[in-house]
Amino acid sequence: MHRSRPLIRNSLAAVALFALGHSPLLAAGGQSGPKAGTRKAPSVQEAERFVQQAEARLEALQIKAQRADWVAQNFITEDTQQISAEANEALLKANGEIALAARSYQGLKKLPEETARKLQLMQRTLMIPNDQERARFTQLASRMTGAYGMAKYCPQPSPGAERVCLPLDALEKIMAESRDPEQLKDAWIGWHAQAKAYKQDYVDFVALANKGSRAMGYADTGALWRSGYDMSPEAFAADLERVWQQVKPLYDSLHAYVRHKLRQTYGPDLVPATGPIPAHLLGNMWSQSWENIYLLVKPDTQAGDFDLSQALVQRGVSAKAMVQFAEAFYTSLGMQALPPSFWERSLLTKPQDREVVCHASAWDLDLQQDVRVKMCIRPNEEDFITIHHELGHVYYNLAYRAQPVLFRNGANDGFHEAIGDTVALSITPSYLQTVGLMKADDRPGDDIDNLLKQALAKVSFLPFAYKVDAWRWQVYAGQIKPQDFDKAWWSMSERYQGISRPVPWQAEGFDAGAKYHVAADTSYARYFVAHLLQFQFQRALCREAGYTGPLHRCSIFGNQKAGQKFQALLALGASKPWPQALQAMTGETQLDGSALIDYFAPLKLWLDQQNARAAQGH
């Protein structure tokens, strides 16, 4: 359920400039900053005029690129990929030129705070001045995304049978539902092998991205990404490590419990008593969330009999109705109904007549009202939660549309991901009963059961989210060479996630590229940040709603007082540094794992008890 809105890729459009991720170029032939030697120093008025012209240009370029990407992901052909690449190439060129021009105003005294922040945001970008290299860069980006969207695994058929090729959604279904370890391993290996086809494209892309980042004074593209959090790249990396260590004991307890349960299911020959868990047994293609193995690890006594996926199927809930449930949550907080164009232009089900990128995403095509979702919705619990998440992006877009162009984004990338995830935390049994998806005689399970379900989705994800960019930062820094991509990826997988590859890695492999966000060059640290922020947000909103019980039972559905506080945060966009936005919302000024720890405190105690019993042979 961890999805990204496609504000075009991080490196491609330098979303570290996180006011929509793009720098504009001033009108063709217009002034792009004071020329060296022609004047002593620019004035405040010139700086403000520069920003005004830049924002106008930015808006037009952003809309054009977004529309091209929408078409390219909904109609995957060589032609649409080329159109998308050309739109993004123009955007990239503008991005770099205006970033250089913005440097001319550094150190200018008496700048209004808003203008100074905009100039700072403009410079968080890469620049590739060479026309040929810039075209190559955007073509590589478009090609990798297209290759990912069209990839299929074609297993060897049994004698006499027709060969059937499986797209990712079919393989994900196998990973989620099968309990045959050989079938799971085959699906896992089959999908991960697809990324080899664009490994060299990725290597070339990294080299060009680094060239563009260094042209703007960054050590490499990883440093550029980390600079997008209102602190130095080094400070941001240290902050993530600090918070990871804060929450790691909870993950370790969950991992030990799940390993023991899987060992009972699959036997000691496949699952060790200690050490890493084989990656293909965790119910997810990337082992990033484990909720699909709930039935294998559920508590012996506390588990209920309610199944949200089953309830959605039994009630015949359509893709559109799934979205309407999510919309109703946001409107219950006092937010507006989705505009009619949302329903007319979104893609909610997988077309049968063409290839599309099914990866769930939210879009803001005109920076005003043309918001959309692209998602191949299925009637199950995962997609029910995911659509609540995606509408978080949509409502954030709608809330900050009154801001200047450069501020129409989240306070940081993690904020944008945390909004919908915060709402999803309120999908509690009481909420499901209120909206009619859970009947009075359904048994949802007790606190431990419900917390375990949440932990399988939320806690299991933390080290994966940490790992993806920890790996990429080293790739961008040149510390991991192409021949060692998989060696390093699996070393980190064992270190952070405690998982192992089903079969030995190979030098030509590219398992990282089997994840959409690597192929699409979208940063992943945002999701780690979001998974901490959402609990901080939830604690603050529940407090605002007057709730005083255990945090994990709180649902803010229907509470307009909490909704007003939420909406005030959304309306800020990127106009303030994120610690200020966080403080306005929560009273806190830094990323903190204590809210997540509080939320799962009863489960942590129970897990430790279960692990102690397992260690004693009970």
Residue-wise pLDDT tens digits, 442-462: 877 788 988 999 999 999 999
Q: Which of 517, 531, 544, 552 is catalytic?
A: 517
pLDDT of residue 4: 38
Annotation says 552 is catalytic:
no
Q: What are phi and psi of 135, to 5 degrees?
A: -65, -40
pLDDT for 219 beyond 70: yes
Q: Answer yes or no: are the C-beta atoms of 251 and 462 closer than 8 Å.
A: yes
Active-site residue 22, yes or no? no
Pick the closest to residue 602 from 592, 610, 614, 612 (CA basis): 610
Phi and psi of 192, rounded to 5°?
A: -65, -25
Query: pLDDT averaged over the chain?
Result: 90
Window from 91-95, 158-162, 289-293, 301-305 with minimum mean pLDDT: 301-305
Are 40 and 251 in contact, with CB atoms under 8 Å apart?
no
| Active-site hit among 172, 291, 327, 390 | 390
The residues facing 372 across adjacent strands are 363
Average pLDDT over residues 65-77: 91
d(CA 470, CA 517): 14
Weakest mean pLDDT among 90-94, 463-467, 528-532, 570-574 = 90-94
Residue 617 has pLDDT above 90, yes or no: no
140's tokens: 């590589």
Which pLDDT band, with edges at 50, 70 and 90, does 192 fall under?
A: very high
249-269: average pLDDT: 97
Token representation of residue 331: 């409107």
